[in-house]
Chain A
């Protein structure tokens, strides 16, 4: 199952794989150990998960497999939203607030590209949407939760649907934000990054699957770094990070 060819959405209670080519169904069946082969003409394939099944683990296996098969793409652990100048990437250590900031930008009107996983085509360095269910798997800011559309009643509490993407591809990458956790009471602060630092941060965000070629990825990330403006954003709260980012992107857009 490729990433670009097969838009697919995974839900917490059933897996709905949309537009899955028939040729990939045996692979998916093997991966899920017993997945029933569906009608090849069906628009979506429902994969029921029985009570007690570990849905996140199945999702993890699916995504890992998709990344391992994406030979012509680098896959970054990053959030991304389409801003005034182009696609803004958001990276940072685990818990730094990537998901919160990405969802804040989305709920402020910027089209969502991904909340967590970002494929980058190796040829032209364009990015793709990754429309899996949004993850809300830790404690999020009440102000953030108020801003995003309500969760359908049929969805598990820790999953939200990916919004319907706008027509067309996401715009070229223009900005990179590297999130750093600030101390309580500290005002949000941006600091510019050199192209070398941008390339280095991007390289660290690339998911290293088997067969990963470090030198080739470095060349790609240097190319991406030359196209975008990088900054660190140090902030104590997701709300302040969101508002500061919106102002910064509008100011430099």
Chain B
């Protein structure tokens, strides 16, 4: 974690915030639900897969590596991934470990 601007670095690990539940669905999409906030977000298949790595052990770069293995023909940019995770953290659905 870069302390000056709070931007996560590739070595940052991430986890779902307490009370947040990931509900995977049959078509690869998912819903993220926060009991604390009483809010939910719908996720596409890439975001759903990314959130499945939010276990406090996977780092951004490890998650990126795994996603590229699952979707070898898709272009998955680290910056986009980091921005998405930062957005989830700002919404209190995710925390940096």
Chain A residues within 8 Å of B27, by CB: 194-195
- In Å, the complex CA distance between A83 and B30 comes to 27
Knowing A215-B33, A215-B35, A218-B31, say if A200 contacts B40 (CB, 8 Å): yes
Count of residues in A whose CB is under 8 Å from the partner chain = 13
Number of interchain pairs (Cβ within 8 Å): 49
For A215, list chain B residues within 8 Å (CB): 21, 33, 35
State A225–B26 Cα separation when bound (angstroms).
10
Main secondary structure on chain A at its contact with chain B? Answer: helix
A222: which B residues are within 8 A, CB to CB? 23, 25, 31
Tally B residues with Cβ within 8 Å of A: 20
Q: Shortest Cβ distance from B22 into chain A, in angstroms? A: 10
A64 at the interface (CB under 8 A from B): no
Contacts of A195 in B (CB 8 A): 25-27, 29
Could you tell me if B33 and A196 are in contact, using CB atoms closer than 8 angstroms? no
* C-alpha gap A244/B9 in the complex (Å): 48
The answer to the question of A6 belonging to the interface, with a C-beta cut-off of 8 Å to chain B, is no
The answer for the CA separation of A226 and B26 in the assembled complex, in Å, is 7
A199 touches B (CB below 8 Å): yes
Determine how close the nearest CB of chain B comes to the CB of A55; give it in whole angstroms.
Answer: 35
Question: With A196-B48, A199-B31, A200-B31 given, is the CB distance from A218 to B40 under 8 Å?
Answer: yes
Q: A214-B38, A222-B31 are in contact. Are A196 and B26 (CB under 8 A)?
A: no
Whole-angstrom CA separation of A195 from B43 in the bound complex:
9
Of A194, A203, A215, most buried by chain B (CB within 10 Å of CB) is A194
- Which chain A positions have C-beta within 8 A of B23? 199, 218, 222
4 other contacts beyond A196-B29, A214-B39, A218-B31, with CB at 8 A cut-off? A195-B26, A196-B48, A200-B42, A218-B40
Partner-B contacts on A (CB < 8 A): 194-197, 199-200, 203, 214-215, 218, 222, 225-226
